[in-house]
Amino acid sequence: MLEMKENCEKCEVPTAKTAAACICSFECTFCVPCSDDMDRVCPNCGGELLMRPKRTLDV
Ligand SMILES: [Zn+2]
Ligand SMILES: [Zn+2]
């Protein structure tokens, strides 16, 4: 199951590349509501969850 992480690891909501999401330094990905819920701390590795920059168009 080594796919691109395109879903929140907690609630499975899709976090497409263009959607707002939070990511930790080990690339765990969560939606923003879940991240807020967890005080912006990754439950997997204890890292800080940061807002992932929205990607509009990769050239
Ligand atoms: Zn979520
Ligand atoms: Zn993590």
Q: How many CB atoms lie within 10 A of CB 28?
A: 18
* Total of domains in the chain: 1
In angstroms, what is the span from residue 23 Cα to ligand 2's centroid? 7
* Domain-located, residue 21: yes
Ligand nearest to the CA of 21: 1
Higher pLDDT, 2 or 49: 49
Give the pLDDT confidence of 5-56 residue by residue, as tens digits. Answer: 789 999 999 987 777 899 999 989 999 999 999 999 999 999 999 998 766 6
* Domain-located, residue 56: no
Ligand nearest to the CA of 26: 2
In angstroms, what is the span from residue 18 Cα to ligand 1's centroid? 15
DSSP state of 20: -
**pLDDT over 50 (residue 1):** no
* Domain-located, residue 57: no
* Domain-located, residue 41: yes
| pLDDT score recorded for residue 22 | 93
* Domain-located, residue 7: yes
Q: What is the pTM of this model?
A: 0.78
Q: Which residues pair with 50 in a beta bridge?
A: 23
Domain residues for 3? 1-48
- Tokens 């080594």 correspond to 2
* Cβ proximity of 45 and 26 under 8 Å: yes
Token output for 53: 């920059």
In angstroms, what is the span from residue 42 Cα to ligand 2's centroid? 5
* Domain-located, residue 1: yes
